[in-house]
Amino acid sequence: MIKRLTSVGKPTVTATTVMPFAQRVQRIIDEEFPDGHRYYTKEVHLRTVGPEVIARLIGFWKQMPMDGEIELIGLGGAIGDVAEADSAFANRQYQHWLVFALRWG
């Protein structure tokens, strides 16, 4: 899956890592999206990422009308270790986040 996604266009950065949520994931795009621009962010929660999702992402990347990034974040199995009612974090049944963080202006 990663090889197919990174074969589209010329990625500025390609990285795979494991990181703590609060210290890194929540702040991962702060430096890349400074004040003074217009932003559009949309997030989708996915249980699985199948070939049809990858195909649609590749189609969008090839025609992406603005600057920004698309992030596919794998949450791993530990997210389900805590019941949803026991924390402020909802949608624990999903294993992936698909985040569109786009900018213009």
Query: What is the C-alpha to C-alpha distance for residues 46 and 66, in angstroms, rounded to an integer?
Result: 24
pTM of the predicted model, to two decimals?
0.61
The owner of tokens 């986040």 is 97
User: Residue 68: how many CB atoms within 10 A of its CB?
Assistant: 19
> What is the block-wise mean pLDDT of the chain (105 residues), using blocks of 10 residues?
76 74 74 83 91 90 83 81 85 88 82
88: phi then psi, degrees, rounded to nearest 5: -85, -5
Which H helix or E strand runs over 100?
Answer: strand 96-104
85 CB-contact burial (10 Å; exposed 0-12 / middle 13-18 / buried 19+)? exposed
